[in-house]
Amino acid sequence: MALTCFIGNSVCGGRQGESSQTENTSPYTINFSGNRLTFYQPFDQYGDYPGAVVSVRSCTAANVCGNTLVSGGSGFMSGPGCTNALILTNDFSGATYRGIGYNFTGGTLQSASVFTNIFNEGVSFHVELDFTHSFGWFLNQNTYVAGTNKTVVPPFLDPASSAVHLSN
């Protein structure tokens, strides 16, 4: 079991904060906290997937707390093999694609505690989750915004019929 920590940094340029998308990644834990990220915008090209503050795969525990996404694709993306995430007090209002979602290979995040964040829906959703695991997701006291003027709006979830626990 490996542990990755990335704490208190300022990242300018590029498209990823943390990305562990290789096929044979062994289970690990990540602590990605207190960072300020200003990424390049996604390319307007078919097949190009936008970057994220944190994009994980085969992750047993992801602690993503207190980060600010000034500009970039997404806040948090998960892939196959992810089990638990704590997403706490992040400002992902600079996301141009979506706040939280799963990557092109699908998502299996089984349990997520998502509290006091700011999410921009970008051109997509505030939160995209796997329907079969949505009963293990808890969203509380988050702010959901839309557009460049960051107008506060109701949460836009995909799928809308998910069993996520939502309160404010």
Q: Could you report the per-residue pLDDT of 71-103, keeping only the tens digit for each?
A: 999 999 998 888 999 999 999 999 998 999 987
Q: What is the 3-state secondary structure (H, E, C) of the chain?
A: CEEEEEECCEEECCCCCEECCCCCCCCEEEEEECCEEECCCCCCCCCCCCCEEEEECCEEEEEEECCEEEEEEEEEEECCCCCEEEEECCEECCEEEEEEEECCCCCCCCEEEEECCEEECCCCCCEECCHHHHHHEEEECCEEEECCCCEECCCCEECCCCCCEEEC
What is the domain extent for residue 123? 2-167
pLDDT at position 113 is 96
Percent of the chain with pLDDT over 70: 91
Number of domain units in the chain: 1
